[in-house]
Structure 1
Amino acid sequence: MAQERTGEATFKGNPITLVGPKLQPGDQAPDFTVNLNLLEETTLKDYAGKIKLISVVPSLDTGVCDAQTRRFNEEAAQLGQDVVILTVSADLPFAQARWCGAAGVDRVVTLSDYKTRSFGEAYGVLIKEFALDMRSIFVLDRDDRITYVEYLSEMTEPPNFEAAIEAVRKLL
Protein backbone atom coordinates (compact mmCIF):
# COMPACT_ATOMS: atom_id res chain seq x y z
CA MET A 1 0.00 0.00 0.00
CA ALA A 2 1.27 3.44 -0.91
CA GLN A 3 2.41 5.92 1.72
CA GLU A 4 -0.21 8.45 2.84
CA ARG A 5 0.79 11.95 3.96
CA THR A 6 -1.46 14.18 6.05
CA GLY A 7 -0.99 17.71 7.34
CA GLU A 8 0.85 18.90 4.23
CA ALA A 9 -1.94 20.20 2.04
CA THR A 10 -5.43 21.66 2.09
CA PHE A 11 -8.30 22.39 -0.26
CA LYS A 12 -9.94 25.70 0.68
CA GLY A 13 -8.44 25.32 4.14
CA ASN A 14 -9.68 21.75 4.67
CA PRO A 15 -7.03 19.04 5.15
CA ILE A 16 -6.47 16.53 2.32
CA THR A 17 -4.41 13.34 2.19
CA LEU A 18 -1.61 12.97 -0.37
CA VAL A 19 -0.70 9.46 -1.53
CA GLY A 20 2.90 8.60 -2.41
CA PRO A 21 6.37 9.79 -1.43
CA LYS A 22 7.46 13.38 -1.00
CA LEU A 23 10.18 13.79 -3.61
CA GLN A 24 13.16 16.11 -3.12
CA PRO A 25 15.72 17.81 -5.37
CA GLY A 26 18.47 15.30 -6.07
CA ASP A 27 16.07 12.34 -6.24
CA GLN A 28 15.91 10.26 -9.40
CA ALA A 29 12.53 10.95 -10.95
CA PRO A 30 10.26 7.91 -10.81
CA ASP A 31 8.84 6.55 -14.04
CA PHE A 32 5.12 6.78 -14.73
CA THR A 33 2.58 5.75 -17.33
CA VAL A 34 -0.04 8.29 -18.41
CA ASN A 35 -2.27 8.77 -21.44
CA LEU A 36 -1.57 11.09 -24.38
CA ASN A 37 -5.04 10.25 -25.65
CA LEU A 38 -7.57 7.51 -24.99
CA LEU A 39 -5.50 4.75 -26.62
CA GLU A 40 -1.90 5.97 -26.52
CA GLU A 41 0.17 5.85 -23.33
CA THR A 42 3.48 7.55 -22.65
CA THR A 43 6.14 7.26 -19.96
CA LEU A 44 8.96 9.41 -18.62
CA LYS A 45 11.38 7.54 -20.91
CA ASP A 46 9.58 8.99 -23.95
CA TYR A 47 11.06 12.40 -23.05
CA ALA A 48 14.62 11.15 -22.54
CA GLY A 49 17.39 13.69 -23.10
CA LYS A 50 15.09 16.69 -22.61
CA ILE A 51 14.86 19.07 -19.69
CA LYS A 52 11.37 18.55 -18.32
CA LEU A 53 9.12 20.96 -16.46
CA ILE A 54 6.18 18.93 -15.13
CA SER A 55 3.25 21.15 -14.20
CA VAL A 56 0.64 19.22 -12.22
CA VAL A 57 -2.91 20.55 -11.99
CA PRO A 58 -6.08 19.06 -10.45
CA SER A 59 -8.24 19.95 -13.49
CA LEU A 60 -7.76 22.22 -16.50
CA ASP A 61 -11.39 23.33 -16.12
CA THR A 62 -10.67 25.46 -13.04
CA GLY A 63 -9.39 29.04 -12.97
CA VAL A 64 -6.00 28.52 -11.32
CA CYS A 65 -5.21 25.42 -13.40
CA ASP A 66 -6.23 27.24 -16.57
CA ALA A 67 -3.97 30.20 -15.73
CA GLN A 68 -1.07 27.93 -14.73
CA THR A 69 -1.20 25.99 -18.00
CA ARG A 70 -1.57 29.12 -20.15
CA ARG A 71 1.43 30.72 -18.37
CA PHE A 72 3.69 27.72 -18.97
CA ASN A 73 2.51 27.55 -22.59
CA GLU A 74 3.69 31.18 -23.03
CA GLU A 75 7.02 30.44 -21.32
CA ALA A 76 7.62 27.39 -23.53
CA ALA A 77 8.23 29.60 -26.56
CA GLN A 78 11.29 31.19 -24.91
CA LEU A 79 12.79 27.99 -23.51
CA GLY A 80 13.68 26.31 -26.80
CA GLN A 81 13.74 22.79 -28.18
CA ASP A 82 15.74 21.22 -25.33
CA VAL A 83 12.83 21.76 -22.92
CA VAL A 84 9.48 19.98 -22.81
CA ILE A 85 6.66 21.20 -20.60
CA LEU A 86 4.33 18.42 -19.50
CA THR A 87 1.01 19.28 -17.88
CA VAL A 88 -0.39 16.36 -15.91
CA SER A 89 -3.98 16.19 -14.67
CA ALA A 90 -6.59 13.53 -13.99
CA ASP A 91 -8.82 15.07 -16.67
CA LEU A 92 -9.91 12.70 -19.41
CA PRO A 93 -7.82 13.03 -22.59
CA PHE A 94 -10.94 14.29 -24.46
CA ALA A 95 -11.34 17.12 -21.96
CA GLN A 96 -7.66 18.02 -22.19
CA ALA A 97 -7.82 18.18 -26.00
CA ARG A 98 -11.01 20.26 -25.91
CA TRP A 99 -9.52 22.65 -23.35
CA CYS A 100 -6.24 23.08 -25.29
CA GLY A 101 -8.15 23.80 -28.50
CA ALA A 102 -10.40 26.37 -26.83
CA ALA A 103 -7.48 28.00 -24.98
CA GLY A 104 -5.09 27.98 -27.95
CA VAL A 105 -2.54 26.05 -25.88
CA ASP A 106 -0.17 24.30 -28.28
CA ARG A 107 3.29 24.25 -26.70
CA VAL A 108 2.70 22.15 -23.59
CA VAL A 109 2.02 18.42 -23.74
CA THR A 110 -1.08 17.48 -21.75
CA LEU A 111 -0.93 14.07 -20.11
CA SER A 112 -3.86 12.34 -18.45
CA ASP A 113 -3.39 10.46 -15.17
CA TYR A 114 -7.06 9.37 -15.18
CA LYS A 115 -6.63 5.64 -15.78
CA THR A 116 -4.13 4.33 -13.21
CA ARG A 117 -3.07 7.42 -11.21
CA SER A 118 0.48 6.17 -11.87
CA PHE A 119 1.93 9.68 -11.91
CA GLY A 120 0.05 10.85 -8.83
CA GLU A 121 1.20 7.95 -6.68
CA ALA A 122 4.81 7.95 -7.96
CA TYR A 123 5.24 11.70 -7.37
CA GLY A 124 3.28 11.90 -4.12
CA VAL A 125 0.54 14.18 -5.45
CA LEU A 126 -2.50 11.91 -5.61
CA ILE A 127 -5.27 13.39 -3.47
CA LYS A 128 -6.95 10.46 -1.74
CA GLU A 129 -10.24 12.26 -1.13
CA PHE A 130 -10.74 13.42 -4.75
CA ALA A 131 -8.68 11.01 -6.92
CA LEU A 132 -7.12 14.13 -8.48
CA ASP A 133 -3.48 15.22 -8.58
CA MET A 134 -2.39 18.05 -6.28
CA ARG A 135 -0.99 21.21 -7.84
CA SER A 136 2.79 20.92 -7.94
CA ILE A 137 5.84 21.57 -10.12
CA PHE A 138 8.80 19.28 -10.86
CA VAL A 139 11.86 20.21 -12.93
CA LEU A 140 13.96 17.29 -14.19
CA ASP A 141 17.36 17.48 -15.85
CA ARG A 142 18.27 15.56 -19.02
CA ASP A 143 19.09 12.49 -16.87
CA ASP A 144 15.73 12.61 -15.06
CA ARG A 145 17.19 13.85 -11.80
CA ILE A 146 14.85 16.20 -9.96
CA THR A 147 16.40 19.66 -9.60
CA TYR A 148 13.36 21.62 -8.39
CA VAL A 149 10.14 20.70 -6.59
CA GLU A 150 7.20 22.77 -5.42
CA TYR A 151 4.39 21.00 -3.60
CA LEU A 152 1.64 23.55 -3.03
CA SER A 153 0.22 23.53 0.48
CA GLU A 154 -3.17 24.93 -0.66
CA MET A 155 -4.75 23.42 -3.75
CA THR A 156 -6.32 26.70 -4.90
CA GLU A 157 -3.06 28.72 -4.84
CA PRO A 158 -0.87 29.22 -7.95
CA PRO A 159 2.72 27.95 -8.09
CA ASN A 160 5.85 30.11 -8.09
CA PHE A 161 6.19 30.50 -11.87
CA GLU A 162 9.41 32.52 -11.72
CA ALA A 163 11.24 29.98 -9.53
CA ALA A 164 10.18 27.09 -11.78
CA ILE A 165 11.28 28.85 -14.99
CA GLU A 166 14.58 29.89 -13.35
CA ALA A 167 15.18 26.24 -12.38
CA VAL A 168 14.74 25.26 -16.04
CA ARG A 169 17.01 28.06 -17.29
CA LYS A 170 19.80 26.90 -14.94
CA LEU A 171 19.82 23.58 -16.82
CA LEU A 172 20.10 25.09 -20.32
Structure 2
Amino acid sequence: MATVTLKGDAIHTSGQLPEVGTKAPDFLLTATDLSVKSLTNFAGSNVVLNIFPSIDTGTCAQSVREFNREAGELENTKVLCISRDLPFAQARFCGAEGLENVINLSDFKDGSFGKDYGLNFVDGPLEGLHSRCVIVLDANGTVKYTEQVGEIVDEPNYKAALEALHDA
Protein backbone atom coordinates (compact mmCIF):
# COMPACT_ATOMS: atom_id res chain seq x y z
CA MET A 1 0.00 0.00 0.00
CA ALA A 2 1.27 3.48 -0.89
CA THR A 3 0.23 6.76 0.66
CA VAL A 4 -0.31 9.90 -1.42
CA THR A 5 -2.12 13.12 -0.61
CA LEU A 6 -5.06 15.06 -1.96
CA LYS A 7 -4.53 18.71 -1.03
CA GLY A 8 -2.48 17.54 1.93
CA ASP A 9 -4.87 14.85 3.20
CA ALA A 10 -3.45 11.31 3.15
CA ILE A 11 -5.14 8.65 1.03
CA HIS A 12 -3.97 5.13 0.24
CA THR A 13 -3.59 2.90 -2.78
CA SER A 14 -4.25 -0.80 -3.12
CA GLY A 15 -0.59 -1.76 -3.44
CA GLN A 16 2.73 -0.81 -4.99
CA LEU A 17 3.56 -0.03 -8.61
CA PRO A 18 5.39 -2.73 -10.56
CA GLU A 19 9.13 -2.65 -9.87
CA VAL A 20 11.62 -1.34 -12.39
CA GLY A 21 13.18 -4.29 -14.23
CA THR A 22 10.10 -6.52 -13.98
CA LYS A 23 7.65 -7.41 -16.72
CA ALA A 24 4.54 -5.26 -16.66
CA PRO A 25 1.30 -7.13 -15.92
CA ASP A 26 -0.90 -7.63 -18.96
CA PHE A 27 -4.27 -5.89 -18.98
CA LEU A 28 -7.61 -5.69 -20.74
CA LEU A 29 -8.84 -2.13 -21.19
CA THR A 30 -11.57 -0.55 -23.32
CA ALA A 31 -10.60 1.83 -26.13
CA THR A 32 -12.74 4.77 -27.24
CA ASP A 33 -14.14 2.64 -30.11
CA LEU A 34 -15.19 0.09 -27.43
CA SER A 35 -12.67 -2.49 -28.61
CA VAL A 36 -10.63 -4.30 -25.97
CA LYS A 37 -6.88 -3.69 -25.88
CA SER A 38 -4.20 -5.58 -24.01
CA LEU A 39 -0.53 -4.88 -23.46
CA THR A 40 0.23 -7.35 -26.23
CA ASN A 41 -1.44 -4.97 -28.71
CA PHE A 42 1.52 -2.63 -28.16
CA ALA A 43 4.32 -5.24 -28.20
CA GLY A 44 7.41 -4.04 -30.00
CA SER A 45 6.81 -0.40 -29.06
CA ASN A 46 7.98 1.55 -26.06
CA VAL A 47 4.92 2.40 -23.98
CA VAL A 48 4.19 5.31 -21.66
CA LEU A 49 1.29 4.60 -19.30
CA ASN A 50 -0.14 7.99 -18.26
CA ILE A 51 -2.56 7.00 -15.48
CA PHE A 52 -4.87 9.43 -13.68
CA PRO A 53 -8.14 9.74 -11.74
CA SER A 54 -10.37 11.51 -14.33
CA ILE A 55 -10.00 13.27 -17.67
CA ASP A 56 -12.45 15.90 -16.36
CA THR A 57 -10.02 17.46 -13.90
CA GLY A 58 -7.52 20.17 -14.78
CA THR A 59 -4.33 18.31 -13.87
CA CYS A 60 -5.41 15.09 -15.58
CA ALA A 61 -6.42 16.96 -18.72
CA GLN A 62 -3.08 18.77 -18.75
CA SER A 63 -1.15 15.50 -18.51
CA VAL A 64 -3.00 14.19 -21.57
CA ARG A 65 -2.27 17.42 -23.47
CA GLU A 66 1.42 17.37 -22.49
CA PHE A 67 1.97 13.72 -23.38
CA ASN A 68 0.06 14.26 -26.65
CA ARG A 69 2.44 17.10 -27.52
CA GLU A 70 5.51 15.04 -26.65
CA ALA A 71 4.24 11.82 -28.26
CA GLY A 72 4.23 13.38 -31.69
CA GLU A 73 8.02 13.55 -31.54
CA LEU A 74 8.71 10.08 -30.10
CA GLU A 75 9.85 7.20 -32.26
CA ASN A 76 8.44 3.71 -31.74
CA THR A 77 6.49 4.88 -28.69
CA LYS A 78 2.81 4.70 -27.77
CA VAL A 79 1.33 6.86 -25.02
CA LEU A 80 -1.63 5.19 -23.31
CA CYS A 81 -3.80 7.50 -21.19
CA ILE A 82 -5.62 5.32 -18.67
CA SER A 83 -8.43 6.18 -16.26
CA ARG A 84 -11.76 4.80 -15.08
CA ASP A 85 -13.62 7.39 -17.16
CA LEU A 86 -16.07 6.03 -19.68
CA PRO A 87 -14.58 5.71 -23.18
CA PHE A 88 -17.15 8.25 -24.39
CA ALA A 89 -15.79 10.93 -22.03
CA GLN A 90 -12.23 10.16 -23.11
CA ALA A 91 -13.18 10.42 -26.80
CA ARG A 92 -15.13 13.65 -26.22
CA PHE A 93 -12.18 15.29 -24.47
CA CYS A 94 -9.57 14.34 -27.06
CA GLY A 95 -11.92 15.20 -29.92
CA ALA A 96 -12.68 18.64 -28.49
CA GLU A 97 -8.97 19.26 -27.85
CA GLY A 98 -7.81 17.86 -31.21
CA LEU A 99 -5.47 15.37 -29.50
CA GLU A 100 -4.44 12.56 -31.83
CA ASN A 101 -1.07 11.33 -30.54
CA VAL A 102 -2.31 9.46 -27.45
CA ILE A 103 -4.45 6.37 -27.04
CA ASN A 104 -7.16 6.56 -24.38
CA LEU A 105 -8.04 3.37 -22.53
CA SER A 106 -10.65 2.86 -19.83
CA ASP A 107 -10.62 0.58 -16.80
CA PHE A 108 -14.33 1.23 -16.19
CA LYS A 109 -15.53 -2.38 -16.44
CA ASP A 110 -13.98 -3.92 -13.37
CA GLY A 111 -11.00 -1.84 -12.28
CA SER A 112 -8.67 -4.82 -12.72
CA PHE A 113 -5.90 -2.72 -14.26
CA GLY A 114 -5.75 -0.50 -11.17
CA LYS A 115 -5.82 -3.52 -8.89
CA ASP A 116 -3.13 -5.42 -10.82
CA TYR A 117 -0.87 -2.35 -10.94
CA GLY A 118 -1.50 -1.51 -7.24
CA LEU A 119 -2.70 2.03 -7.88
CA ASN A 120 -6.42 2.12 -7.00
CA PHE A 121 -7.41 4.47 -4.21
CA VAL A 122 -8.84 2.42 -1.34
CA ASP A 123 -10.06 5.33 0.78
CA GLY A 124 -10.69 9.06 0.63
CA PRO A 125 -12.95 11.05 -1.69
CA LEU A 126 -11.47 9.46 -4.84
CA GLU A 127 -11.87 5.88 -3.62
CA GLY A 128 -12.11 3.47 -6.55
CA LEU A 129 -10.31 5.76 -8.99
CA HIS A 130 -6.67 5.48 -10.08
CA SER A 131 -3.85 7.44 -8.51
CA ARG A 132 -1.75 9.67 -10.75
CA CYS A 133 1.13 7.57 -12.07
CA VAL A 134 3.45 7.28 -15.01
CA ILE A 135 4.98 3.94 -15.95
CA VAL A 136 7.40 3.59 -18.87
CA LEU A 137 7.87 0.22 -20.56
CA ASP A 138 10.43 -0.81 -23.15
CA ALA A 139 9.49 -2.64 -26.35
CA ASN A 140 9.59 -5.97 -24.46
CA GLY A 141 7.14 -4.82 -21.78
CA THR A 142 9.80 -4.40 -19.09
CA VAL A 143 9.25 -1.58 -16.61
CA LYS A 144 11.94 1.08 -17.09
CA TYR A 145 10.51 3.89 -14.92
CA THR A 146 7.70 4.51 -12.47
CA GLU A 147 6.36 7.56 -10.71
CA GLN A 148 3.41 7.73 -8.36
CA VAL A 149 2.77 11.45 -7.93
CA GLY A 150 2.83 12.18 -4.20
CA GLU A 151 0.26 14.99 -4.31
CA ILE A 152 -2.63 14.19 -6.63
CA VAL A 153 -3.16 17.78 -7.77
CA ASP A 154 0.47 17.95 -9.03
CA GLU A 155 1.53 16.97 -12.53
CA PRO A 156 3.91 14.08 -13.14
CA ASN A 157 7.58 14.59 -13.93
CA TYR A 158 7.27 14.54 -17.73
CA LYS A 159 10.98 15.09 -18.27
CA ALA A 160 12.03 12.08 -16.17
CA ALA A 161 9.48 9.83 -17.87
CA LEU A 162 10.60 10.87 -21.33
CA GLU A 163 14.27 10.50 -20.41
CA ALA A 164 13.56 6.92 -19.38
CA LEU A 165 12.57 6.27 -23.00
CA HIS A 166 16.12 6.96 -24.11
CA ASP A 167 17.26 3.96 -22.07
CA ALA A 168 14.37 1.77 -23.24
Q: TM-score, normalised by structure 1?
A: 0.91
Q: Aligned AA for 2:118?
A: G
For structure 2, the 5+ residue unaligned runs are none
- The structure 1 residue matched to 2:46, chosen from 30, 51, 55, is 51
Measured against aligned partners, the alpha-carbon deviations of 1:45-75 in whole angstroms (never above 9, x if no partner) come to: 1111110011001111111111111000000
Show the counterpart of 2:74.
79
Show the counterpart of 2:141.
144
Partner Cα separation in structure 1 for residue 130 and residue 140 of structure 2 = 24
Measured after TM superposition, the shift of residue 21 of structure 1 is 3.3
SS in structure 2 opposite 1:61?
Answer: coil
- The structure 2 residue matched to 1:114, chosen from 108, 124, 129, is 108
Show the counterpart of 2:4.
9
Partner Cα separation in structure 1 for residue 13 and residue 132 of structure 2 = 11
SS in structure 2 opposite 1:84?
Answer: strand
Work out whether 1:30 is the aligned partner of 2:25.
yes
Show the counterpart of 1:19.
14
Measured after TM superposition, the shift of residue 163 of structure 1 is 0.5
| Aligned positions, number | 165
Measured after TM superposition, the shift of residue 100 of structure 1 is 0.5
Q: TM-score, normalised by structure 2?
A: 0.93
Measured after TM superposition, the shift of residue 103 of structure 1 is 1.1
Measured after TM superposition, the shift of residue 153 of structure 1 is 1.2
Measured after TM superposition, the shift of residue 38 of structure 1 is 6.7
Kept in 1, the 8 Å contact 2:6–2:152? The answer is yes
State the Cα RMSD in Å: 1.3
Kept in 2, the 8 Å contact 1:21–1:121? The answer is no
Measured against aligned partners, the alpha-carbon deviations of 1:20-64 in whole angstroms (never above 9, x if no partner) come to: 333221111011111113742111111111100110011111111
Kept in 2, the 8 Å contact 1:20–1:120? The answer is no
Partner Cα separation in structure 1 for residue 129 and residue 23 of structure 2 = 23
Q: Aligned AA for 2:129?
A: L
Partner Cα separation in structure 1 for residue 12 and residue 33 of structure 2 = 28
SS in structure 1 opposite 2:109?
Answer: coil
Q: Aligned AA for 1:40?
A: S
Measured after TM superposition, the shift of residue 125 of structure 1 is 1.0
For structure 1, the 5+ residue unaligned runs are none
% identical aligned pairs = 39
Show the counterpart of 2:56.
61
Q: Aligned AA for 1:87?
A: C
Q: Aligned AA for 1:152?
A: V
Residues 41 and 20 from structure 1, CA distance in 2 versus in 1: closer, same or farther, beyond 3 angstroms? farther
